[in-house]
Amino acid sequence: MTTTDEPRHRSALDDVARWLDDRLRLAEGSRRYWRKAFPAHWSFLIGEVALFSLVVLLFTGTFLAFFYVPDTRLVVYDGPYVPLQGQEISAAFDSTLRLSFEVRGGLVMRQIHHWAALVFVAAITVHMLRVFFTGAFRRPRELNWVIGVLLLLLAFGAGFTGYSLPDDLLSGTGLRIGYSVLLGIPFVGPLIGFIGLGGEYPGTDVLGRLHILHVMLLPAGLIGLVTAHLVILVRQKHTQKPSRKATNDNVVGEPLFPHQTLTSLALFAFTIAVLALLGGLFEINPVWLYGPYEPFQVFAPAQPDWYMGWLEGMLRLWPNWEFTVLGLTIPSTFLPGVILPGLIFTVVGAWPWIDARWITKDHDEHHLLQRPRDVPLRTGIGVGGLVFLLSIFIAGGNDVLASNTSTGLQTITAILRVATIAVPFLIGWIAYRMARGLKENELAVTAADPTRTEPASGPPR
Amino acid sequence: MAEPDRFPPATPAGGQTKADRWRRQREREDRAARWAAVCFLVAIVAALSLFAVYVSGGQVQLEGLALFVAFAGVGLGIAIWVRVIVGHEEVIEERYPMRSDDAEREAFEELYEATLGEAGVGGRRRFLVRLLTGAGASLGLALLIPIRSLGPGPENDLFRTEWDAGARVVDAEGEPLRAEDISPDQVVTVFPEGATGSADSQAILVGLRTDVETDLRQPTVDGIVVYSKICTHAGCPVGLYRAAVGELLCPCHQSTFGVYNGAVVLSGPAGRPLPQLPIALDDDGYLVALGDFVEPVGPSFWNMTRGGGS
Ligand code: HEM
Ligand code: HEM
Ligand code: FES
């Protein structure tokens, strides 16, 4: 660090700042936030990775949108990709091929966009796990948790709609499945499906609608909610790990300027760097190999993007129970495709209240983070839930698993069914026991040696 | 000198007891509340009637009316509410100069200097800031490059149309035209054969009267001239012909072009004449072009006189 006595000469930047302050009275606010404290722990950077991936998605997506044509009408392909020349394909697929082969820089943008989508959802998920297992969602941050869950839903929606746009064989298959699940909702399913697609599947309007959802409504929702998320974050200030200095009444961290600014800039650059590396070197969604979507064709193994895997797995695992009560048919897609995901999202969304009411029985304001061991029951349930999602995610690849292990598909599915029910309980229980053990050990040590100051994580419960 | 009081306090109205005034005010408010309620009720009815209109097949005037009544009802109800029931109230907010107080400003400037020092770039290491700015600017430039992917360069396209030596002059239906088909004062929108409807090749054929002196710049066939139909001002089709004065008139901003003098600009904002097509007759007596327009057609652009080198 260098500080010199020579006075800095006035730069143009200073003049601009003064000009702005003359009109907007910025000095006081700037001074307040200039040294805003950011707890220095890597786990707080995951949310920023999500933010930066979103920025990359917005920029690359805008580029793609200049070329993409949301139209299912057929055209004859006459581009440079030889195997498809002369074939009738949809204008949408044609525009995707044009982006991939003819537009200079188009393929790298498409691939970066797709990789960024995967990294985005991954970052959100990990960010959410950090918030969950440290109890950062507790009062007063319930609102940000709920906004987060909505963000997760929008991200799923953006991924699903984006994935359906190229109108290749795989995207059409995903859409077909989504539509079928929708159709299975009692009373309103068929109506919703027809309204959504503008007619019976596949309809002619579907791509136009997915497109406007994907490039306008969902991004607008994401940007709006992220803004709210961050405004609330600034208002409430960050949580922090308890320490001798960090208490419930302060925030100990690095200042916004210069430390956090530079750290975030570096992280931004790293995020773009990694996404560019992935997009440049690792082929993703080579739609020309899949070919255009034909309603009568499918290929195996048909695998969706990773974050859809658990929904797909649930459909694969569910037994073929299809029953009719009082003339009302409940298809075998309804419970696993609508009710269970709905239930999961509801429980996740309501977690801050479930946690306060039944687990910690604590409704006070908290700004200090917990360790997973501090609340064994929450940790157990969280781990169990994760294992459940993981095992239905694995079930989403039951065909791949079967062919790779040369076991029958039915056998694999049967094993996975049992595993999906039993293993989460088992592992959740183990996690619970371990957390309790660690906590009790610690309490015993502190009790035996009163000179040890324990991090102020509140009374044990 | 003390300013005369331009706003003396209102003197209390005489003859009325306080209770009287209070009661009258109450009655007024009750009446207003009833009217506001009526407005909201009407709005509810109008909004619900939209369902009926929709279910019975939709009808544009009714839809507009129902929406109007619904929103006007809500607006009116709220207006009555705020003006009569809520009434008038005045709050006074202090204003301060927009510029931060000197102390505030100095405090921030000090903090800024200090943290710049903390960032290690207070003095000697300014070059770090400069280089990072340079990297950011270069990346910004690199990110602009993909814009170039959005379209091809203009190449020669602004200097070329579909007209070519030997191209027959056809009308909008694609029918070739003979010189004897054209009578004086007749105008026909024409295209090169095979490119009917072409935006940049559209031209206007005019039959000239023989008793007027002409001053043309291109070879032409007895009494027939063909000009580009695209206005040299802002590109509208030059659609109107005033035969009496021999003027083509552009309807967009009223430029006029004299067809007997090589379509020079007679009035209006256009900056140059309509390019003229060199024409002749082919062996079968049909009108043909001798080549493309000599100058670029349509609105001018920066390098038009440098030529496209076609
Ligand atoms: C959170 C936000 C977003 C996610 C998760 C997302 C995800 C995706 C995915 C997975 C694809 C398929 C890519 C492929 O063909 O391999 C896609 C395609 C596309 N996205 Fe996005 N996207 C997001 C935001 C945006 C935005 C903001 C825009 C535009 C303003 C956009 C425009 C497009 C377009 C035009 C395509 C079709 C490109 C093509 O494959 O031909 N996306 N998106
Ligand atoms: C587009 C997606 C999201 C973005 C860009 C985002 C961004 C951020 C950022 C930058 C922070 C600051 C601290 C940190 O990074 O840990 C944060 C905090 C937080 N986020 Fe998110 N987030 C997203 C989604 C979510 C989701 C899915 C959840 C939970 C369901 C969530 C819940 C929270 C909570 C409760 C906090 C406050 C935690 C604290 O102060 O320790 N966020 N978010
Ligand atoms: S476009 Fe013809 S006068 Fe302006």
Tokens 């306060």 locate to: A356
Contact A213, A162 (CB under 8 A): no
Range with lowest mean pLDDT among A53-67, A441-455, B232-246, B249-263: A441-455
Say which DSSP state B254 is in.
Answer: -
Q: How far is CA B237 from the centre of its chain?
A: 18
pLDDT at A430: 97
Q: Is the CB of A206 under 6 A from ligand 2?
A: no
**Whether residue A343 has pLDDT greater than 50:** yes
Q: Are residues B244 and B256 in contact, defined by beta-carbon separation less than 8 angstroms?
A: no
- Contact present, B32 and B80 (Cβ < 8 Å): yes
Question: Strand pairing partners for B237?
Answer: B230
Which DSSP symbol is given to B93?
Answer: -
> CA-nearest residue of chain B to A59?
B143
| Of A292, A263, A285, A215, the residue nearest A59 (C-alpha) | A215
Q: Indicate whether B128 pLDDT > 70.
A: yes
A191 neighbors A240 (Cβ within 8 angstroms): no
Q: Is B120 helix (H, G, I), strand (E, B) or coil?
A: coil
Tokens of B117: 């020092």
Beta-bridge mates of residue B192 = B169
Residue A4: the pLDDT is 46
Residues of A in contact with B123 (CB under 8 A): 2-4, 6, 8
Give the pLDDT of residue A400: 85
Distance from CA of A426 to the nearest CA of B (A): 51
CB contact under 8 A, B117 and A23: no
Query: What are the φ/ψ torsions at residue B225 (nearest 5 degrees)?
Result: -125, 150
Nearest to B252 by CA among B267, B237, B272: B237
Does any ligand 2 atom lie closer than 6 A to the CB of residue A117?
Answer: no
Paired tokens of A113:
């966009």
Q: How many CA atoms lie within 13 A of B259 on its CB side?
A: 33
Supply the pLDDT for residue A456. 46
DSSP state of A252: -
Query: Using one digit for the tens of pLDDT, what is the confidence trace for A357-403?
Result: 999 999 999 999 999 999 999 999 999 999 999 999 998 888 888 88
Q: Which residues on chain B are in Cβ contact (under 8 Å) with A255?
A: 115
Domains of chain A: 39-318 (1.20.810.10)
The atom number, within ligand 1, closest to the CA of A168 reads: 15
Percent of chain A having pLDDT more than 70?
94
- Enumerate residues 6+ apart whose C-beta is below 8 A from B86: none
> Is there an atom of ligand 2 within 6 Å of A367 CB?
no
Choose between A165 and B222: higher pLDDT: A165
> Looking at residue A459, what is its pLDDT?
46
Pairing of strands B187-192, B203-207: antiparallel
| Ligand 3 site-directed mutation target among B228, B232, B236, most atoms within 8 Å of CB | B236
Q: Are A98 and A80 in contact (CB under 8 A)?
A: no
Rounded to 5 degrees, what are φ and ψ at B190?
-125, 160
Domain ranges of chain B: 13-149, 159-310
pTM (2 decimals)? 0.90
C-beta neighbour count of B113 within 10 angstroms: 14
Residue range A320-340: mean pLDDT, rounded: 89
CA closest to A22 among chain B residues: B99
Residue with tokens 């102390």: B103
Q: How far apart are CA A286 and CA A174, in angstroms?
A: 16
* Least confident stretch, A133-137, B55-59, B220-224: B220-224
CATH topology of domain B159-310: Rieske Iron-sulfur Protein (2.102.10)
Tell me the CA distances in angstroms from B216 to B170, B177, B237, B249, one per residue in order: 22, 21, 21, 18
Which phi and psi angles does B271 have, rounded to 5°?
A: -100, -15
Which residues of chain B lie closer than 8 angstroms to A276, CB-CB? none
pLDDT tens digits, B107-124: 999 999 889 888 887 667
Which tens digits make up the pLDDT trace of A220-231? 999 999 999 999
Strands A328-330 and B247-249: unpaired
Ligand 3 neighbourhood includes B228 CB (under 6 angstroms): no
B246 φψ region: left (φ > 0), alpha (ψ -120 to 50), beta (else): left
Residue A65's pLDDT is 97
User: What residues contact residue A261 under an 8 Å CB cut-off, 6+ apart?
Assistant: none
Element (DSSP H or E) covering residue A122: helix A106-133
What is the helix (H) or strand (E) element at residue A382, kind and residue range?
helix A376-395
Lookup: tokens for A235:
């208002």
Residue A299 pLDDT greater than 90, yes or no: no
User: Band of the pLDDT at A2, cuts 50, 70, 90?
Assistant: very low
> Does residue A140 have a cis bond before it (omega within 30 degrees)?
yes
- Which residues is A74 bridged to in the sheet? A90
Residues enclosing ligand 1, CB less than 6 A?
A 54, 57-58, 61-62, 64-65, 68, 96, 99, 110, 113-114, 117, 120, 155, 158-159, 162-163, 165-166, 214-215, 219, 222, 285
Which listed ligand is nearest to B299 at the C-alpha? 3
- Take atom 28 of ligand 1 and give the residue whose Cα is closest: A61
Half-sphere exposure of A215 (CA within 13 A, CB side): 20
Task: Using alpha carbons, select from A248, A231, A253 the residue that is nearest to residue A45.
Answer: A253
Give, for ligand 2, the residue of A230, A233, A268, A347 to mutate: max count of ligand atoms closer than 8 Å to Cβ: A233
Q: Quick one: average pLDDT of B196-210? A: 94
The Cα–Cα gap between B290 and B296 comes to 16
Nearest to B113 among A1, A8, A28 (CB): A8
CA B287–ligand 3 middle distance (angstroms): 28
Site to probe by mutation for ligand 3, drawn from B227, B231, B256 as the one with most ligand atoms within 8 Å of Cβ, is B231
What is the Å distance from ligand 1's center to A275 Cα? 14
Indicate if the pLDDT at residue A460 is higher than 50: no
Residues 6+ apart with CB under 8 A from A277: none
At residue A203, the pLDDT reads 78
> What's residue B9's pLDDT?
63
> Where does chain B show beta strands of DSSP type E?
169-171, 187-192, 203-207, 224-228, 240-242, 247-249, 256-258, 264-267, 279-281, 287-289
| Partners of residue A105 in chain B, C-beta under 8 Å | 145-146, 149
> Considering only CA atoms, which residue is closest to atom 17 of ligand 2?
A47
Residues 6+ apart with CB under 8 A from B293: B161, B163, B228, B275, B276, B277
Q: Which residues of chain A neighbour B118 with C-beta distances below 8 Å? A: 1, 258
Tell me which chain B residue has its CA closest to the CA of residue A269. B136
Q: Any residues with CB less than 8 A from the CB of A222 and at least 6 apart, and which?
A: A54, A151, A154, A155, A158
Structure tokens at A391: 């095992």
Indicate the pLDDT class of residue A341, thresholds 50, 70 and 90. Answer: very high
CA distance A266 to B231: 54
Strands A254-255 and A323-325 come out as unpaired
Verify whether the Cβ–Cβ distance B115 to A255 is below 8 Å: yes
- Say how many Å lie between the CA of residue B215 and the centre of ligand 3: 23
Residue B120 C-alpha, separation from nearest chain A C-alpha, in angstroms: 5
* pLDDT computed for residue A300 by the predictor: 67
Dist CA A24 CA B216 (whole Å): 64
Q: List the beta bridge partners of residue B169.
A: B192
* pLDDT, mean of residues B87-113: 92
User: B-chain residues within 8 Å CB-CB of A4?
Assistant: 117, 122-124
Strand partners, B265: B257
Prediction ipTM score:
0.82
Distances B158 to B21, B255, B277, B293 between C-alpha atoms, Å: 81, 22, 16, 11
Judge contact between A399 and A336, C-beta under 8 A. Answer: no
Q: How far is the CA of A61 from the centre of ligand 1 (A)?
A: 5
pLDDT of residue A461: 42
Q: How far apart are CA A67 and CA B22, in angstroms?
A: 70
Tell whether the model's pLDDT for residue A1 goes beyond 60.
no
Contact partners, residue A396, CB within 8 Å, separation at least 6? A303, A304, A308, A309, A310, A311, A312, A313, A316
Distance between CA atoms of residues B293 and A10, nearest Å: 59
Cross-strand pairs, B281:
B287
Phi and psi angles of residue B249, each rounded to the nearest 5 degrees, phi first: -120, 130
Nearest Cβ partner for B122 among A2, A24, A35: A2
Nearest to B123 among A6, A27, A30 (CB): A6
**Nearest partner of B53 among B40, B39, B66, judged by Cα:** B66
Contacts of A304 by beta carbon, 8 Å cutoff, 6+ apart: A163, A170, A174, A312, A396
A360-to-A345, A366, A370, A435 alpha-carbon distances in Å? 21, 12, 12, 15
Residue A430: how many other CB atoms lie within 10 Å: 13
Q: Residue A60: what pLDDT?
A: 97
- The pLDDT value given to residue B14: 57
For residue B102, the chain A residue with the least C-alpha distance is A27
